[in-house]
Amino acid sequence: MFRILTLSIITLAAIQAAAKPLNLLVIQTDEHNYRTLGCYRKLLPESDYYFGKDVVKTPNIDWIADNGAICTSFYATSPVCSPSRAALVTGQYPQNTPVVSNNTPMSDDVVTFAEILRRQGYATGYAGKWHLDGDGKPQWRPKRHFGFEDNRFMFNRGHWKKFADTPEGPKVASVDKRGNPSYGVNGADENSFATDWLADKVVDFIDKNKSKPFCYMVSFPDPHGPNTVRAPYDSKYTDVKVPIPATTLNKTRQQTPPWAAVTPKLTADTVRSIMPGYYGMVECLDDNIGKILNRLRKHGILENTVIVFTSDHGDLCGEHGRLNKGVPYEGSARIPLLLYCPSEVKKGTVINQALSCVDFLPTVMDLMGHKTAGREEGRNASSLFRGTAKNWHDVAFIRATGGWVMAATDQLKLVFSPQGKPWLFDLQGDPDELNNHIAAPQHRTKIRSLAQQLIAYGKKYNDPHTQRGRVEQDLAWAASDAKNYSGPPDSEPKPAKRNRKNKTKK
């Protein structure tokens, strides 16, 4: 009798545990090159390490990948801050949020994943950079919450390095000679440095809400520039021999599309000077993510929490002679996406199909067992994460503030731009993205299919980029049966000027 009663209690506990709503923790970094993460380097051929096989060790971020899923072809729906962030939290394309450029306020009527969960009784919150409420800088605690109810530690924009708590609320703790908030890192420590300070806010939220379902998102401003970090991370990589990407050097004009031209071209010495600080920021991030994971373990809620690690866009870090983002090259447009959900996703799952930020909301809501608001435009890719997908259609659509649009698969990227003829990147045959394969006969059928899908995407989701001038003409050619390219001659725009301080101002 006692044995039967004991088994009944155990069975009841298991049923109750299974019925308990899953928590959601979204960890986002800013301008993060996926090659600096060990879990991604592990999947790359040695020739693609670029920044060295073991320059930065990221055991805590790697743990999420090893015990969950890693997406190898996940792209920023638009590889700049605000549009990408809006796409991630809403599941809608930038032109419909309508955040198509930085500092554009998100529409009041969008529905975020946080709002969906808030309506289901979840405790919700957000800490870190938001960048979806206009020009305010830093603009703490924006009035519009978008479902993130506890947004005390949300700031609209900026890449601040040092924070402090005050009776009046949080503030930037570093100021310039005029008393204005600055990006200075002087005196920052494990309590005040931005990454540590924000991680502590996550831990505090977990402590407060550990006994109820919660949804929290933290957006770290690193490793976006300036490439500075607190001690001891500031000196850990000073003596490291920084590998120089092959594409930093020896690229010809023919290997550089007009939309990728930049003057002056980045030098190897510049790459060597900026990367030690970048490595330090990544290690600091990893250590703090470890702190967050340990708090979930302490409370016994790790296995009941969906953990997502991603970034808003990449950073070329010298690849193709460029810094920052905004172009369709892998270092700019491809971003990390790791997802831990042991009840739904087998450990060690590798997803090679092309996905983008708009696919996140419908996917994670399905994995968590919640219905969406029905407004999302991305795809529900939960079958890929569960390993049950059949006949999955491998294509993602990416757009930019500069007018280019791209259809991407795991192997091919077809780019149309107002600046110059179409480009086809073959990531399998040309992983450095040095040559245009638009005229390769073996790709003609695939080019036609991708162009047709881009046209259909543009019409369905009202993307003006696909319906203007040269892009529209080139799409029509690519979607036709014509074999030889007959579009207008390449334009010769003036090369873009690069910010000499190595990071774009936002």
CB burial of residue 30 (10 Å; 0-12, 13-18, 19+): buried
Phi, psi of 447 (to 5 degrees): -60, -45
What CATH code is carried by the domain that includes residue 463? Answer: 3.30.1120.10
**Do 129 and 237 belong together in one domain?**
yes
Q: Which helix (H) or strand (E) holds 129?
A: strand 123-129
Indicate if the pLDDT at residue 196 is higher than 90: yes
Return the number of other C-beta atoms located less than 10 Å from residue 441's C-beta. Answer: 7
**Do 85 and 146 belong together in one domain?**
yes
Residue 385 located in a structural domain = no
- Res 497: pLDDT: 52
Instruction: Indicate the Cα dihedral angle 223, 395, 470, 418, nearest 10°.
Output: 10
Interstrand relation of 423-426 and 412-416 (parallel, antiparallel or unpaired): antiparallel
pLDDT digits (tens, 9 = 90+) for 197-206: 999 999 999 9
Quickly state the pLDDT bin for 502 (edges 50, 70, 90). Answer: very low
- Res 261: pLDDT: 86
**Do 357 and 478 belong together in one domain?**
no
**Do 228 and 355 belong together in one domain?**
yes
Domain boundary among 352, 371, 390: 371
Indicate if the pLDDT at residue 29 is higher than 50: yes
CA–CA separation, 314 and 335 (whole Å): 6
Q: How many CA atoms lie within 13 A of 398 on its CB side?
A: 35
Residue whose C-alpha is closest to residue 437's, from 262, 255, 261: 255
Q: Which long-range contacts (CB under 8 A, 24 or more apart) does 380-388 make?
A: 381/351, 381/353, 381/355, 382/344, 384/351, 384/353, 384/355, 385/69, 385/339, 385/341, 385/344, 385/345, 385/349, 385/351, 386/344, 386/345, 387/346, 387/349
CA–CA separation, 78 and 86 (whole Å): 10
Residue 238 located in a structural domain = yes
pTM for the model: 0.93
Residue whose C-alpha is closest to residue 138's, from 115, 163, 119: 163
Quickly state the pLDDT bin for 382 (edges 50, 70, 90). Answer: very high
pLDDT digits (tens, 9 = 90+) for 446-487: 999 999 999 999 999 999 999 999 999 999 999 998 777 766
CA–CA separation, 40 and 34 (whole Å): 7
Mean pLDDT is lowest, of 15-19, 198-202, 425-429, for 15-19
Residue whose C-alpha is closest to residue 289's, from 357, 358, 222: 222
**Do 364 and 269 belong together in one domain?**
yes
Quickly state the pLDDT bin for 266 (edges 50, 70, 90). Answer: confident
- Res 65: pLDDT: 98
Residue 299 located in a structural domain = yes
Quickly state the pLDDT bin for 5 (edges 50, 70, 90). Answer: very low
* Positions of E strands within 341-487: 349-351, 355-356, 396-399, 405-408, 412-416, 423-426
Q: pLDDT: is 350 or 497 the higher one?
A: 350
**Do 173 and 45 belong together in one domain?**
yes
pLDDT digits (tens, 9 = 90+) for 299-314: 999 999 999 999 999 9
Q: Which distant-in-sequence residues (6+ apart) come within 8 Å of 441 by Cβ?
A: 483
Across the chain, mean pLDDT equals: 92
What CATH code is carried by the domain that includes residue 191? Answer: 3.40.720.10
Domain assignment of residue 411, given as a range: 398-497
Average pLDDT value for residue range 43-60:
82
**Do 323 and 433 belong together in one domain?**
no
- Res 506: pLDDT: 47
Cα torsion 337, 33, 278, 188: sign: negative
- Res 253: pLDDT: 85
Residue 429 located in a structural domain = yes
Interstrand relation of 337-340 and 496-497 (parallel, antiparallel or unpaired): unpaired
Quickly state the pLDDT bin for 7 (edges 50, 70, 90). Answer: very low
Return the number of other C-beta atoms located less than 10 Å from residue 60's C-beta. Answer: 18
Indicate if the pLDDT at residue 354 is higher than 80: yes
- Res 490: pLDDT: 61
Cis previous bond, 232, omega within 30: yes
State the total domains in the chain. Answer: 2
State whether residue 311 is helix, strand or coil.
Answer: strand
* Percent of the chain at pLDDT exceeding 90: 82
Indicate if the pLDDT at residue 501 is higher than 90: no
Average pLDDT value for residue range 420-424:
95
Q: How many CA atoms lie within 13 A of 347 on its CB side?
A: 7
**Do 69 and 198 belong together in one domain?**
yes
Tokens 């996905």 correspond to 355
pLDDT digits (tens, 9 = 90+) for 85-131: 999 999 999 999 999 999 999 999 999 999 999 999 999 999 999 99
Residue 387 located in a structural domain = no
**Do 273 and 419 belong together in one domain?**
no
- Side chain identity at 199, as an amino acid letter? A
